[in-house]
Amino acid sequence: MPKPAQKTNLLGLSEAKLVAFFEQLGEKCFRATQLLKWMHQLGVNQFEQMSNISKSLREKLAQVAVIEAPELIEQHNSRDGTRKFLIRVSGGSAVETVFIPDGDRGTLCVSSQVGCALDCSFCATGKQGFNRNLSAAEIIGQVWIAVQSFGQFDVKAGRKVTNVVMMGMGEPLLNFDNVLDAMSLMMHDNAYGISKRRVTLSTAGVVPGLNKMRGLTDVCLAISLHAANDELRNQLVPINKKYPIAQLLDSACQYIESLPDSHRKITIEYTLIDGVNDRLQHANELADLLVNVPVKINLIPFNPFALSDYRRPSYKALKRFQQVLIDRGYITTVRTTRGDDIAAACGQLAGKVNDRTKRSARYQQQVLKIA
């Protein structure tokens, strides 16, 4: 007996893919707009509740489609207002999503993969291995869950999630198509309506994916750099052996230059680790490296976790490093550590990965063979 056809999860479909879906059903393209609003502006996931869609179409949709977000397992609230969501995805693994409030801004840090293949030495996620890419529905579903938790689907409610950063678990550019579809929904006027200047993709340096972004999206770009020379960066961020710093920065500059509003800057993320990359010589080396690159620099004090022997830098070392960069003319901020009491700070995310694959094998598949 043939297996019944799997229903399409509409939650992760971009506008173009949703239009194509309705065309296959013999329906007009305006149905895509209706569904986008119901799902992403009103938080409705049951077709029978969609009052401006005919009963016959609602019944047809129920036969061939679902609107399904991943499952919220736990929610942890920090004393500083940070909120961490532990979310189960298909296959039984879990990912983490973090909401960070800062005045009128509410930034949601979204995951793109179950685990991570890049194995950056200062990051808890890389230590748990890598399982798979998240689907577009599982990526945008993290936004859906966070918005729902704040009651933001109520038309009278204010907006809590104002910014999204693809800086959670995983390397976004190794899940290119699904990440771009999800980001398009974040920015779509009929979905979450977040400004392109408030959606940021962070990469550790997957140059082919970065090159591919040109002309396909115009989100903000962050580079997870952490060292100003290849020898040190090879130790901290192993993908640097494949795509060294000069190649990475050249690709990043080409992306920024391709944007319609050419005044945007690349955010350089630099995690300061005591005795490793936090000395004055490192600060001056970083300043020299970036002299012709349109950047702003975000310094991140290392956040300790169980599987690492690295230490957080002293406050004195942090401020001294920052001052060197400021004196050299760079906009330089220090990321305030938030949510460390619930292991939600930068570098601490580690969901529960089932059925792990050896990291070396997945590294070959995910990185060394990327087109």
Distance CA 177, CA 199 (A): 16
Asked whether 302 and 313 are in contact (CB, 8 A), the reply is: yes
Structure tokens at 334: 């220090």
Q: How many CB atoms lie within 10 A of CB 306?
A: 9
Beta bridge partners of residue 72, listed in sequence order: 87
Instruction: Name the catalytic one among 15, 96, 138, 171.
Output: 96
- 96 given a catalytic annotation: yes
Q: At what angle do helices 315-327 and 280-289 cross, to 10 degrees?
A: 30
Length of the chain: 371
Name 252's Cβ contacts closer than 8 Å, sequence gap at least 6: 210, 221, 223, 266, 293
- 346 given a catalytic annotation: yes
User: Which regions of 199-341 does DSSP assign to beta strands (E)?
Assistant: 199-203, 220-224, 266-272, 295-301, 332-334
User: 46: closest CA among 61, 56, 28?
Assistant: 61
State residue 147 phi and psi, 5-degree precision.
-60, -40
State the distance between the two ends of the chain, measured CA to CA, in whole angstroms: 40
Distance CA 242, CA 216 (A): 24
Instruction: Name the catalytic one among 109, 116, 123, 346.
Output: 346
Q: Give the HSE-up count for residue 62: Cα atoms under 13 Å, Cβ half-sphere.
A: 12
Enumerate the active-site residues: 96, 346
